[in-house]
Structure 1
Amino acid sequence: MLARAVVAGCAALLLAACAAEAEQVMPPITPEPELPLFQDGGGASPDGTAAPSGGTKARKVLQRVLRGAGAGRKKVCANVAPAYARDVLGGPCASWVKGLSAEDRERLRAVKVGRPEAGEGANVWVFKGSEFVWPLGAAAAPGVERYVMRLKGKRWVLAG
């Protein structure tokens, strides 16, 4: 019984000493301004330049739409305007996703969307297709020169 008490006391003493030592050694956690993780805007384009803060969310949504279509997820169609699907994709978005070739699916899953430019009007961002990074080659579909993302309510929508 006495041995257990001595061992428990020693263990407690060691833990307390280690905790006190760790508190003295560890510096306070502060954001480092030179690290991109803590910069305003939150994201960078594939070429390493920071994206405009308002366009970062639009870029993430566009990339999610393209990669999701490549993965065969029809739920990404919630972020595609019906008029865009009809005019550019040739019909309903879900039909387009279903009809993608295996090569286009693979290429869309790997695409990296480039830096946006502010469009006309508030909450409109334009992405040039030429600034996308296609590691596996450019997909044949949708094959447009520019993508326009608009904020409709609380949702970013591919609208042009």
Structure 2
Amino acid sequence: MRDADEFDAFYTASANRVLGHLYVVIGDRAEAEDAVAEAYARAWARWSSVRDCDSPEAWVRTVAYRIAVSSWRKAVNRLRAHRRDAAGTQPVDATSVDHVALMTALRQITVDQRRVVVLHHLVGLSVADIAVETGTNVNTVKTWLARGRKALAGHLADGERQSTGDGRSYAV
């Protein structure tokens, strides 16, 4: 019973952070929820070893990210069809202009840059922690972070024009 209580406490304390991180990285809440749920299921199945990790939350975050990437690779055609269908619909909930602009800008940078920017600025990890979690060199993380920030700044610049797809454009 100790394991179940310990895992429940871990899940309660970390699930929203992990979901928020993955949602910002991949940009699709439903896909993020599926990947995070699967990652926590895998963590529970291996809880005796996962709990002894330096950071069980980082373990779950990494597994969730890998599940999402695997899902992308397996379902490219399904995602394209989904995006085509969803392109003409407007979101139901009221979202701030800043939030929409940030999400749009994040989707325009590479996935590696997006991942380190989110881990650093939204999750609050240090560059060294990001390097460990992503399995990359510290200097690579710094490069991705610098390039990601620069690309985001360009996409978020005042007066930037966005095309509506029908020949018209609007200022962001």
**TM-score of the two chains, using structure 1 as the length reference:** 0.28
| Greater strand fraction, Structure 1 or Structure 2 | 1
Of Structure 1 and Structure 2, which has the larger fraction of its residues in helix?
2
